[in-house]
């Protein structure tokens, strides 16, 4: 046997590597000798590589990655674009202390899509990856490793060793990040990345800070701030806002004993019992009314409580307001001012007395922040742990603004100090229980309950925050809000509501920004200060610090510079020392535009020409994070926004709508999804979802299955169909050469339609990408794919197969080529792998020097749209045709008629002459898709009748007893009234307004009594289809079924069109009473051959020596037919062979078996050299070509 079946040769993609194709399987059975694979003919070299029927998208993606590495595709594309206008993109830095999750993959995909498209639009797009190296995520890992619980442990271990431990693990997952980012198709530069711990990056941070310092935007203040006891550091207001959780906290009422009267108390409410040991005052509202009451139970003590909250107090302690209390008087809160009371705990009496503050401490004060929405209208004041408490106590002189007079018995880890001896060492939240027990024991606890409310938690450690008064460094924001808001108004966001609502509202209420953190591994705040903080020097560069240090500085982390001092100008005997804090890591990432370029120390002109950036993208959570800090710092430094355009994505959630959790394993691993469905499927699934417009996405694996089945496979099958038919065209006619001009010259309306749709799509993609609306872009692309696969390819199958002639086939193939080629370019940013696979093969047909012939589809520029190709009239005509086809299919389904069964006729009713004209131009497609023999048209609508059909289920409750009257009214409506209802969408019947959802219209034909005629309609047109059974139509149906089985078997045998095989069909008798299949095969032979584009031979003519490639028995409408595919071989003229052998059957068999030893190329060659010489029984037989045998039954002139 000749060798050379499918599956041989290297795996290449297009001209570079190919998707592997499996060899045909051997087929066992009784059909005859089996050939393991077909014998290939001697067709010319095909333009395109053959592709598998069933692709493995993940495997193809791995090949593409290897190819990109081979040609260094990304860096080469950047190199090629040098000299083009720069498109500036800022990539926010993630931490490398964990693996990327779907949120990272989503944001990375959005960035990749936009940047790839920008490159393909002629921009030079630099894409540098960045790493957030400092801060709590790194320190937490080291704390766990070294069992560090607080500041003392760090100082004992040594800041130098601690920081170097942090440095050592900063990039523990960089390798995995690179692999995962690459696997999901993102092109970004990891080799020239930036790191926030690099000296160049940190130095630019110093420069930014000094610019703010010089403008008077930096100050130090003692403030009550949200504080993480887990991290031992304060948090900024936007960090605090990031993580509120619903929790259950204590809700207690405590009675404070008044000094002015025995057995008299004032009641206060709190949810933080741990703050009570630090109480210094009680606050009431000056304008609110308070009650002085006497109990009728217990020790008959007196209480003071807010009037508006008295009933709540009574319900809490289960007392009756009237029966259990006597009202002594009502007073305004202002009259209570100055009342003295006994402190609940004795811990700070000596301190207060020593400082001479007894006349102010532990008195009632007033302020309007007190509310009647909760509690007792009396708020206990612990100025060390409450912002309002701090302000009010300063106002009344209880403490001073510098913190003097304050009691602060909680250390940096949130534990009580020795000042509170009874609870020393207890974490404040743990101490709540013990404090309540103490108060209860001493008779001071009136009510002990719980309160469910939203409370801020640390965004890193997930632990509850406390509010704690500490000194910190701030950046002014409040007095610059108007500038920040103005700069925000200059930016463009997708979606716009995030900018206009969420972000704007945040800016309107923005507070001054605490940028200092009491940590170690971070960029040190470059402030050197005197002991009293009156003398401050801000350093803005390494060189500036070297002047004071007297040495070369190569690292500015704390342990390299904290020893440096600066001489005091006020007192030469003293020195300034650096403040203890480091920068908030958000200040570092907000400085990224400048620091990643080492501005202004390097790249000054380049940066200034490219600022603000064209584009950034991150998740919705960054509205109070990176987006905010970028805007604040760019406003302070340059009075500009940091970016022009922004895409804000939503959160990716688990399928059940909950947050994705590694612990719960409630989501599929991203790499598993890429390996199962392909990264392209994940990318398109996310880009085509609400998540790219800041809405949440419930990630479901089924969504990837839908993308694969409804988008990728139809797209791939259209591409495979093209390759197969070009291969057939080249085998029959000649070399395929793309010719876009054929589309313009074509008279076929679907060619014009799909070309118009393509150029409309090109314009659409350009416009929508300019507007950064990924969600509309992907929707437009998938809509076009549907038009291509379920429209154009479906409508023009037979044309491309050559049924209308080679020239028309070439026009259709050239059209499909242009569609597929341009679609790969347009879709390349979204699905970079599949487009590369398809493009590499399609590019084989492009001549050298063609602008679209590149090594990678991602180097090809997005094409310009052709305004002349846009044709709304043609597009409307095809839409009308598609609507008619859909109506016809629906009617066939209602009649339970096989969609493949030919029907006698169909009539289209529409009063619009243009509508009818459009459909006449497309009649061939209507007949083909609806399998009807004849299409008729009518503009005469007088015979069409309308009737209203009420939706009783929807109207039941609405109509009630009027149902019958409304039904009768609907039945009596005139045709004009029904048409008016159809136009307006509503009608009034018996006083009830009936909507389009509550009544539908049926269309019928008057005086139609033929049971085989059935109508269907939509508001625009009506169809009437004739379902009359005819024998000839049934034979066509059977013929189509036979042809389909033959094509199915060829496909299973992995045959190409040009493969030299012969196909046979024979009906197997099975005792059916009225067999019709054999008669159909005979009567419809020419029709079947046209469908198959080859002869289908009677299986009874097989001679027994043929080698079988594939055989199968099929049942069609109860009858069995055997289809056999054989490798082409000698086909004998049995009459002439009988003459040659003088009727000797043994000699005839020897001759046939001898011929069967030749493969087709050898037999072809032998047929050209003369007669075959066959010796048998002492005789030599001269077996002549075309007389005694032919090369297959197709050449047998003696067959009918």
Q: Catalytic one among 501, 662, 920, 1072?
A: 662
Model confidence at 303, pLDDT cuts 50, 70, 90, reads very high
Query: How much is the pLDDT for 726?
Result: 93
Q: Catalytic one among 175, 261, 659, 1020?
A: 659
Tokens of 442: 């001493």
Q: Write out the DSSP string of 336-367.
A: GTT-BB--SS-TTHHHHHHTT-TTTTTEEEE-
Q: Catalytic one among 586, 715, 753, 1064?
A: 586
Strand partners, 289: 332
Mean pLDDT over 1158-1180 rounds to 88
CATH 3.40.50.800 fits 250-385+431-451, yes or no: no
Mean pLDDT over 39-62 rounds to 80
Model confidence at 137, pLDDT cuts 50, 70, 90, reads confident
Mean pLDDT over 323-350 rounds to 93
Can you tell me the distance from the alpha carbon of 507 to that of 1035, in angstroms, rounded to the nearest whole number? 76
Write out pLDDT tens, residues 535-564: 999 999 999 999 999 999 999 999 999 999
919 vs 662, more confident: 919
Give CA angle at 47 (41, 49), nearest 5°.
80
In this model, does residue 400 exceed pLDDT 90? no
Can you tell me the distance from the alpha carbon of 649 to that of 109, in angstroms, rounded to the nearest whole number? 11
In this model, does residue 32 exceed pLDDT 70? no
Mean pLDDT over 205-222 rounds to 94
Cβ(376)–Cβ(313) below 8 Å: yes
In this model, does residue 953 exceed pLDDT 90? no
The reply to whether 586 belongs to the active site is: yes
Write out pLDDT tens, residues 1124-1168: 999 999 999 999 999 999 999 999 999 999 988 888 988 998 888
Mean pLDDT over 568-584 rounds to 93
Model confidence at 20, pLDDT cuts 50, 70, 90, reads very low
Q: What percent of the chain is modeled with pLDDT above 70?
A: 95
Q: Catalytic one among 38, 55, 93, 863?
A: 93
Report CA-CA distances (Å) from 247 to 375, 429, 658, 1035, 1196: 18, 13, 18, 75, 89
In this model, does residue 1178 exceed pLDDT 80? yes
Query: How much is the pLDDT for 237?
Result: 64
Can you tell me the distance from the alpha carbon of 908 to that of 935, in angstroms, rounded to the nearest whole number? 8
Query: How much is the pLDDT for 679?
Result: 95
Mean pLDDT over 570-582 rounds to 92
The reply to whether 936 belongs to the active site is: no
Write out pLDDT tens, residues 994-1005: 887 888 877 777
Strand partners, 1096: 1063
> Half-sphere exposure of residue 332, counting CA atoms within 13 Å on the CB side?
7
Can you tell me the distance from the alpha carbon of 620 to that of 650, in angstroms, rounded to the nearest whole number? 5
Q: Write out the DSSP string of 488-554.
A: HHTSEEESHHIIIIIIHHHHHT---EE-EES-SSSPBP-EEE-TTS-SEEE--SHHHHHHHHTS--S
Model confidence at 986, pLDDT cuts 50, 70, 90, reads confident
In this model, does residue 26 exceed pLDDT 70? no
The reply to whether 859 belongs to the active site is: no
Model confidence at 14, pLDDT cuts 50, 70, 90, reads very low
Model confidence at 36, pLDDT cuts 50, 70, 90, reads very low
Can you tell me the distance from the alpha carbon of 365 to that of 471, in angstroms, rounded to the nearest whole number? 25
In this model, does residue 581 exceed pLDDT 80? yes
Query: How much is the pLDDT for 1?
Result: 27
The reply to whether 493 belongs to the active site is: no
Query: How much is the pLDDT for 236?
Result: 65
Q: Smallest Cα–Cα separation from 24: which of 1160, 1163, 1049?
A: 1049
What backbone phi and psi angles, to 5 degrees, belong to 1115?
Answer: -110, 120
Query: How much is the pLDDT for 1027?
Result: 92
Q: Catalytic one among 513, 626, 753, 1064?
A: 626
The reply to whether 93 belongs to the active site is: yes
1084 vs 298, more confident: 1084
Can you tell me the distance from the alpha carbon of 202 to that of 598, in angstroms, rounded to the nearest whole number? 9
Model confidence at 751, pLDDT cuts 50, 70, 90, reads very high
Q: Range with the lowest mean pLDDT among 705-709, 755-759, 966-970, 1070-1074? A: 1070-1074
Q: Catalytic one among 242, 381, 622, 882?
A: 622
Model confidence at 18, pLDDT cuts 50, 70, 90, reads very low
Q: What percent of the chain is modeled with pLDDT above 90?
A: 60
Q: Catalytic one among 91, 132, 193, 1062?
A: 132
- The torsion region of residue 1071 among left (phi > 0), alpha (psi -120 to 50) and beta comes to left
What is 697-722+740-868's CATH number? 1.10.730.10
Model confidence at 40, pLDDT cuts 50, 70, 90, reads very low
CB atoms within 10 A of CB 330: 10
Can you tell me the distance from the alpha carbon of 857 to that of 1056, in angstroms, rounded to the nearest whole number? 28
Mean pLDDT over 168-193 rounds to 92
Model confidence at 238, pLDDT cuts 50, 70, 90, reads low
In this model, does residue 656 exceed pLDDT 50? yes
Residue 668: Cβ-neighbour burial (10 angstroms; 0-12, 13-18, 19+): middle
Q: Range with the lowest mean pLDDT among 87-96, 247-256, 986-995? A: 986-995
Query: How much is the pLDDT for 23?
Result: 30
Cβ(617)–Cβ(645) below 8 Å: no
Cβ(1024)–Cβ(1061) below 8 Å: no
Mean pLDDT over 1071-1097 rounds to 86
The reply to whether 513 belongs to the active site is: no
Model confidence at 496, pLDDT cuts 50, 70, 90, reads very high
The reply to whether 547 belongs to the active site is: no
Query: Counting runs of H as helices and runs of E as strands, what totals does the chain give?
Result: 45, 44
Mean per-residue pLDDT of the chain: 88
Query: How much is the pLDDT for 1091?
Result: 86
Write out pLDDT tens, residues 766-815: 999 999 999 899 889 888 998 999 889 988 988 998 888 899 999 999 99
Residue 1101: Cβ-neighbour burial (10 angstroms; 0-12, 13-18, 19+): middle
Can you tell me the distance from the alpha carbon of 710 to that of 704, in angstroms, rounded to the nearest whole number? 10
Tokens of 1001: 């219209």
Query: How much is the pLDDT for 29?
Result: 37
Query: How much is the pLDDT for 1020?
Result: 78
Cβ(914)–Cβ(739) below 8 Å: no
């Amino acid at each position: 046997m000749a060798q050379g079946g499918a599956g041989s040769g290297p795996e290449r993609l297009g001209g570079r590597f190919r998707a592997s194709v499996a060899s045909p399987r051997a087929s066992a059975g009784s059909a005859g000798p089996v050939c393991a694979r077909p014998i290939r003919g001697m067709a010319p070299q095909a333009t395109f590589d053959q592709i598998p029927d069933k692709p493995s998208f993940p495997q193809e993606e791995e090949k593409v990655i290897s190819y990109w590495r081979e040609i260094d595709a990304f860096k080469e594309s950047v190199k090629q674009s040098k000299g083009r206008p720069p498109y500036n993109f800022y990539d926010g830095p993630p931490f490398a202390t964990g693996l990327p999750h779907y949120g990272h993959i989503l944001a990375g995909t959005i960035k990749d899509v936009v940047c790839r498209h920008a490159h393909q639009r002629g921009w030079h797009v630099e894409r540098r990856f960045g790493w957030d190296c400092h801060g709590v995520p790194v320190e937490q890992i080291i704390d766990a490793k070294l069992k560090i619980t607080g500041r003392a442990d760090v100082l004992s271990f040594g800041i130098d060793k601690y920081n170097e431990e942090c440095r050592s693990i900063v990039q523990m997952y960089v390798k995995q990040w690179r692999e995962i980012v690459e696997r999901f198709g993102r092109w970004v530069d990891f080799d020239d990345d930036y790191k926030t711990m690099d000296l160049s990056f940190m130095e630019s941070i110093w420069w930014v800070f000094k610019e703010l310092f010089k403008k008077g935007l930096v100050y130090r203040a003692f403030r009550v701030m949200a504080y993480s006891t887990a991290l031992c550091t304060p948090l900024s207001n936007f960090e605090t806002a990031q993580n509120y959780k619903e929790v259950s906290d204590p809700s207690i009422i405590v009675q404070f004993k008044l000094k002015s009267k025995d057995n008299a108390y004032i009641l206060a409410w709190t949810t933080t019992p741990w703050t009570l040991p630090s109480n210094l005052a009680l606050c009431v509202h000056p304008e609110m009314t308070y009650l002085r009451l006497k109990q009728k139970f217990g020790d008959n003590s007196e209480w003071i409580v807010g009037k508006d909250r008295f009933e709540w107090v009574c319900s809490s302690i289960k007392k009756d307001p009237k029966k259990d209390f006597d009202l002594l008087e009502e007073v305004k809160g202002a009259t209570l001012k100055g009342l003295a009371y006994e402190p609940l705990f004795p811990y700070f009496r000596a301190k207060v007395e020593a400082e001479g503050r007894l006349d102010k401490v532990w008195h009632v004060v007033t302020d309007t922040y007190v509310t009647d929405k909760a509690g007792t209208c009396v708020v206990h004041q612990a100025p060390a742990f409450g912002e309002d408490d701090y302000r009010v106590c300063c106002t009344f002189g209880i403490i001073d603004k510098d913190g003097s007079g304050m009691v602060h018995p909680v250390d940096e880890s949130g534990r009580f100090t020795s000042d509170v001896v009874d609870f020393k060492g207890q974490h404040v939240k743990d101490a709540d229980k013990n404090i309540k027990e103490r108060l209860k024991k001493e008779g001071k606890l009136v009510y002990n309950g719980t309160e469910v409310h939203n409370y801020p938690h640390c965004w890193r450690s997930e632990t509850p925050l406390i509010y704690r008064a500490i000194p910190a460094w701030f950046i002014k924001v409040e007095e610059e809000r108007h500038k920040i808001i103005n700069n925000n108004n200059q930016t463009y966001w997708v979606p716009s509501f995030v900018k206009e609502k969420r972000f704007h509202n945040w800016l309107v209420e923005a507070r001054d920004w605490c940028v200092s953190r009491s940590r170690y591994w971070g960029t040190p705040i470059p402030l050197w200060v005197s002991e009293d903080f009156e003398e401050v020097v801000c350093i803005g560069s390494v060189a500036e610090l070297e002047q004071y240090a007297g040495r070369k500085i190569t690292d500015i982390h704390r342990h390299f510079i904290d020893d440096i001092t600066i001489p005091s100008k006020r007192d030469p005997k003293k020195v300034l020392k650096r403040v203890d804090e480091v920068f908030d890591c958000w200040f570092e990432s907000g400085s990224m535009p400048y620091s990643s370029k080492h501005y202004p120390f390097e790249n000054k002109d380049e940066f200034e020409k490219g600022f603000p950036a064209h584009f950034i993208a991150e998740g919705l959570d960054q509205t109070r994070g990176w987006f905010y800090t970028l805007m604040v710092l760019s406003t302070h430094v340059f009075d500009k926004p940091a970016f022009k355009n922004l895409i804000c994505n939503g959160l990716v959630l688990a399928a059940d709508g909950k947050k994705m959790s590694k612990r719960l394993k409630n989501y599929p691993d991203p790499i598993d999804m890429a390996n199962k469905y392909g990264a392209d499927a994940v990318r398109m699934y996310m880009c085509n979802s609400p998540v790219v417009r800041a809405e949440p996405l419930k990630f479901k694996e089924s969504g990837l299955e839908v993308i694969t089945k409804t988008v990728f496979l139809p797209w791939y099958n259209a591409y495979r169909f093209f390759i197969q038919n070009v291969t057939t065209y080249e085998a029959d006619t000649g070399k395929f050469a793309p010719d876009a001009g054929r589309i313009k010259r074509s008279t076929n309306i679907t060619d014009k339609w799909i070309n118009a749709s393509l150029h409309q799509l090109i314009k659409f993609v350009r416009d929508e990408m300019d507007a950064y609306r990924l969600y509309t872009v992907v929707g437009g692309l998938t809509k076009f794919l549907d038009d291509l696969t379920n429209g154009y390819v479906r409508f023009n199958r037979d044309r491309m197969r050559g049924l209308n002639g080679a020239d028309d086939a070439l026009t259709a193939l050239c059209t499909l080529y242009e569609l597929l080629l341009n679609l790969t370019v347009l879709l390349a940013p979204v699905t970079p792998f599949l487009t590369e696979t398809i493009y590499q093969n399609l590019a084989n047909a492009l001549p050298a020097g063609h602008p679209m012939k590149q090594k990678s589809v991602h180097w090809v520029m997005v094409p310009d749209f052709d305004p002349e190709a846009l044709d709304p009239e043609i597009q409307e005509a095809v839409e009308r045709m598609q609507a008619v086809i859909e109506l016809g299919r629906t009617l066939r389904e209602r009649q339970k008629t096989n969609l493949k069964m030919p029907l006698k006729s169909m009539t289209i009713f529409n009063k619009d002459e243009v509508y009818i004209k459009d459909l006449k131009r497309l009649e061939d497609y209507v007949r083909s898709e609806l399998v009807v023999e004849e299409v008729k048209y009518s503009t005469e609508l007088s015979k069409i009748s309308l009737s209203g059909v009420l939706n009783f289920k929807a109207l039941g409750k609405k109509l009630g007893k009027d149902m019958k009257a409304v039904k009768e009214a609907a039945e009596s409506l005139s045709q004009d009234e029904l048409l008016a209802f159809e136009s307006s969408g509503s009608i009034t019947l018996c006083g009830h307004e009936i909507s389009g959802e509550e009544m539908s219209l049926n269309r019928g034909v008057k005086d139609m009594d033929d049971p085989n005629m059935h109508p269907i309609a939509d508001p625009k047109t009506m169809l009437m289809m004739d379902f009359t059974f005819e024998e000839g139509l049934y034979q066509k149906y059977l013929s189509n079924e036979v042809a389909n089985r033959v094509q199915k078997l060829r496909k299973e045998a992995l045959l190409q069109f040009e493969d030299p095989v012969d196909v046979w069909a024979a009906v197997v008798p099975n005792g059916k009473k009225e067999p019709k299949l054999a008669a159909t095969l005979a009567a419809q032979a020419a029709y079947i051959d046209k469908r198959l584009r080859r002869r289908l031979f009677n299986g009874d003519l097989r001679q027994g020596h043929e080698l079988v490639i594939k055989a199968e028995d099929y049942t069609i409408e109860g009858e069995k037919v055997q289809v056999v595919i054989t490798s082409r071989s000698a086909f004998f003229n049995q009459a002439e062979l009988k003459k040659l052998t003088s009727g000797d059957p043994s000699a005839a068999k020897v001759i046939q078996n001898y011929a069967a030893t030749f493969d087709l190329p050898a037999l072809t060659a032998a047929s050209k050299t003369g007669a075959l010489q066959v010796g048998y029984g002492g005789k030599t037989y001269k077996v002549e070509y075309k007389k005694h045998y032919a090369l297959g039954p197709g050449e047998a002139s003696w067959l009918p």
